[in-house]
Amino acid sequence: MTQAPRSPRPPVDDTDIKVRNRRMLLVGAVMIALGFVVAVGYWYTHQPGKAAAPPTALSITSSSGALVVGSAQAPHHLVITESFDCARCATFERSVSAFLSADAAAHLVQVRYEIPLGSNASYDAALAADPTRALAIHDRLFTQSAPSRDASLKVVLDGKPLTESDPLAMSDALESALAR
């Protein structure tokens, strides 16, 4: 068997080689820069002094028919008198629950929830047996329920009542008072 003659290779142009070498150099430089950025990011986030603070234990108890969240040694004491079927109370709870939980966990405020006994059987039972479960029921009832009436919402911070009539204005006043 005879082979067909090969066609000669086209001559290689020096400019093609230079362009290819520049591209390879550019790709290499970009890869080195990305590697450097990743290394610096890893080093920055894994420094020994940057460890996250351990979570603090949140004190949840019941006292005289009220749910008490936070340390008694907290600098601020808050009493919230509310009802599960109160629309204003639900609006207020939805707007304050995140920062009150964080402040109570940080031992900045103690919150006492005063809710009339008999307003929810599962809450009442949990309050007597397991205050942590009662807090979960409290939060669920205010975030998932459709309140039917406007009962009175009363909020007292360090012995002084908040006088705002709108629950969101009351929430803002409370947040700014606790931020001091």
The whole-number pLDDT of residue 11 equals 66
Both tokens assigned to 51: 């460890």
Q: What pLDDT shows up at residue 56? A: 56
CA gap 73, 109 in Å, rounded: 9
Mean pLDDT within 106-115: 92
Which pLDDT value is given to residue 73?
Answer: 92
6-40: buried (b, 16+ CB within 10 Å) or exposed (e) per residue? eeeeeeeeeeeeeeeeeeeeeeeeeeeeeeeeeee
Cα separation, 117 vs 119, in Å, equals 6
Please tell me the chain's helix, strand, coil percentages from 3-state DSSP, rounded to the nearest 5. Answer: 50, 15, 35
In the chain, % of residues over pLDDT 70: 87
User: Which whole number is the average pLDDT over 50-64?
Assistant: 69
Q: Please tell me the CATH code under which domain 60-179 is placed.
A: 3.40.30.10
HEC per residue, 95-123: HHHHHHHHHHHCCCEEEEEECCCCCCHHH
Which has the closest alpha carbon to 92: 160, 180, 164, 179?
A: 164
Stretch 66-88: mean pLDDT: 91
Domain boundaries, the chain: 14-48, 60-179
pLDDT, position 6 = 74
53 pLDDT more than 50: no
**Mean pLDDT score of the chain, rounded to an integer?**
84
